[in-house]
Amino acid sequence: MRVFELVGPIMFGPSSSHTAGACRLSRAMWQILDCPMKKAALGLHGSFRVHEGGTVNKALVAGLLGFDTDDDRINNSHALMEQSGIDFSWENVTLENAHNNSVRYEIEGDGFSFSAIGASVGGGMIEVSEINGIKLSLTGDYNTLLVFAEDLEKAEKAFSSLGLEGGEVECHPGKAGGGIILYKTSLPLEPELCQKLESRESVGHASRHLRFD
């Protein structure tokens, strides 16, 4: 059992779901993008919906800027988002059969974009349950390599050529022969792995989502 699971996350208030979990959920989007963010549109569901005259949860905003849960800039995240040049927008939505602390993301970066649905599931933990319409499960329990394949079969062969051992591989088919490969491991994942994969024509994008300590 990890220290995080025993004592919980280091964070600002008021609650783990609405601070640590919210920040980590948006930070997962920042990690998946792994390039300068140009646009972020949020669909806020359940307890994350903004009441009349309110503002978007500051931790959700902070995570999109790459801030971690103990970063004192979280309290100033709205102003920092305005200064960032990111085209930030939001709307209240209702997501069918979704966790009460869920967010739908539309993220656009310099050369790559994706959509996702995720939730802050309690105790500072998260689950990303959908990326680009593909059902999967991405949490902070493992270091995870994400491979966005334009040709899933060829991308599987490219991934196999890396010779990684000791992890779990998941292949999730998408549309038109594409899909997403997830490699989950407790071992470190070096950035060079993403660069090697992105050099293959069958791979559109590769990024890492790192385990919570």
Query: What are 93-145's pLDDT values in tens digits?
Result: 999 999 999 999 999 999 999 999 999 999 999 999 999 999 999 999 999 99
Q: How far is residue 54's CA from residue 89's CA, in Å, rounded to a whole number? A: 14
- Select from 30, 147, 164 the least CA-distant residue to 86: 30
Given this model, what pLDDT does residue 210 score? 94
Burial class (CB in 10 A: 0-12, 13-18, 19+), 24: buried
Mean pLDDT of 20-42: 97
**DSSP type of residue 47:** G
Burial class (CB in 10 A: 0-12, 13-18, 19+), 177: middle
The residue ranking higher by pLDDT, 160 or 3, is 160
Residue 11: strand, helix, or coil: coil
Given this model, what pLDDT does residue 15 score? 57
Walk across the sheet containing 87-92 and list its strands.
87-92, 37-44, 102-109, 113-122, 125-131, 134-138
Residue 172 bridge partners (DSSP)? 180
Is the entire prediction scored with pTM above 0.85? yes
Please give the structure tokens belonging to residue 135. Answer: 């059902």
